[in-house]
Amino acid sequence: QWTTSSIVDDQVKRIADQVGDGRAICGLSGGVDSAVAAALVQRAIGDRLTCVFVDHGLLRSGERTQVERDFVAATGVNLVTVDARERFLDALAGVTDPEEKRKIIGREFIRVFEQAERDLKAEGDYKFLVQGTLYPDVVESGGGEGAANIKSHHNVGGLPDDLQFELVEPLRLLFKDEVRRVGLELGLPETIVQRQPFPGPGLGIRIIGAVDAERLETLRAADAIAREELTAAGLDGEIWQCPVVLLADVRSVGVQGDGRTYGHPIVLRPVSSEDAMTADWTRLPYEVLEKISTRITNEVAEVNRVVLDVTSKPPGTIEWE
């Protein structure tokens, strides 16, 4: 019978054995897997672990703070943040095709992460790379041992295979719910441990049209309101996730305050799901929808309409791009 604390003890011992007196690097995404993996390795080897967090500017409101302040406070981990916002905006300028956006974001992410690694390696010998690979990922990718066999689809952290690191993967035998329990056992904040899925390419694939700083601000503000109201209504456990999407290339006429507006619609995409392979649209209470709609149109300039996506998956995917 595996208890959560015995999983922690066992993994900490294994990590300590594997890494010995070496040093390890871990990329943090803001998500639960990389956070729990890093916290376990931190337990085992302390400040011989350095975490790298790339701010690509496509994060939601508060996510950078959650990593820089809350995660660091909970673990005492060494953290290097790379502010790559300009770089990603430049690379994405004018790009509207979803696959092209994903490729650009993935490519830039790898370049920034590799540069951070080189900078760190110049200071010391980092031989180990920590990955938050879960058991379902291992199964999906054929269970390859050893080599940097990291699933590239859906993962902005998908790293090239010529990396000269030995992998440390303390979550390899765990399912998501076990990872969350381990995270809680390690004292990580609820905001990280209970976080709903969020795609690696972030808000970049929730702006339908080209990505720019102003559109990101608009979407970030609308997303923050939707999340706040869903949480306040106690609905986080019921929904799998609720993408909030900005139709940046669509305008519609509205009347707000004293006059006519010509703004953009925001789409709410609340879904219920077991594993994201299929999903149903969540029947949110009308009062909650009303609150979100009123607040977004009142508080977010440029948005004059809120619409609800009532498509299941299939035929629609969860994300719009």
Cβ pair 40, 182 in contact under 8 A: yes
30, 57, 132, 201: which one contacts ligand XMP (CB under 6 A)? 201
- Judged by CB under 6 A, the residue of 155, 218, 261, 304 near ligand XMP is 155
The 10 Å Cβ neighbour count of residue 73 is: 11
Among 72, 95, 163, 276, binds ligand XMP (CB under 6 A): 276
DSSP structure string for 152-190: -TT-TT---TT---EEE-TTTT--HHHHHHHHHHTT--H
User: Do 280 and 271 touch, CB atoms closer than 8 A?
Assistant: yes
Please, what sign has the CA dihedral across residues 65, 69, 70, 71?
positive
User: Does the protein bind ligand XMP through residue 317 (CB under 6 A)?
Assistant: yes
DSSP, res 197: P
User: Is 202 among the residues that bind ligand XMP (CB under 6 A)?
Assistant: no
Q: Which residues are annotated as a binding site for ATP?
A: 29-35
Which two three-digit tokens encode residue 273? 């799901």
Angle of the 4-19 helix axis to the 32-45 helix axis, nearest 10: 60
Instruction: Give min distance, CB of 235 to ligand XMP, in A.
Output: 17
**Tokens 């809120």 sit on residue:** 306
Report d(CA 188, CA 175) in Å as an integer: 18
Among 64, 251, 295, 313, binds ligand XMP (CB under 6 A): 313
> CA-CA distance, 321 to 310, in Å (whole number)?
16
Q: Which of residues 24 and 318 has its CB atom nearest to ligand XMP in the complex?
A: 318
Q: Verify binding: residue 261, ligand XMP, rule CB under 6 A.
A: no
Min dist CB 192 to ligand XMP, Å, is: 16
Q: Which is nearer to ligand XMP, 147 or 277 (CB)?
A: 277
Instruction: Tell me phi and psi for residue 93, to 5 degrees.
Output: -55, 125
Say whether residue 200 binds ligand XMP (CB under 6 A). Answer: yes
Chosen residue from 27, 199, 204, 263 binding ligand XMP by CB under 6 A: 199
What track of x and - describes contact with ligand XMP for positions 27 through 66 (by CB under 6 A)?
----------------------------------------
Give the range of 1-9, 34-42, 154-162, 245-253 binding ligand XMP by CB under 6 A: 154-162
Per rule CB under 6 A, is residue 319 in the interface with ligand XMP?
A: yes
Give the shortest CB-155-to-ligand XMP separation in angstroms.
5
Whether 56 contacts 216, CB under 8 Å: no
In the complex, the residues that contact ligand XMP under the rule CB under 6 A are: 102, 154-156, 197, 199-201, 241, 276, 313, 317-319
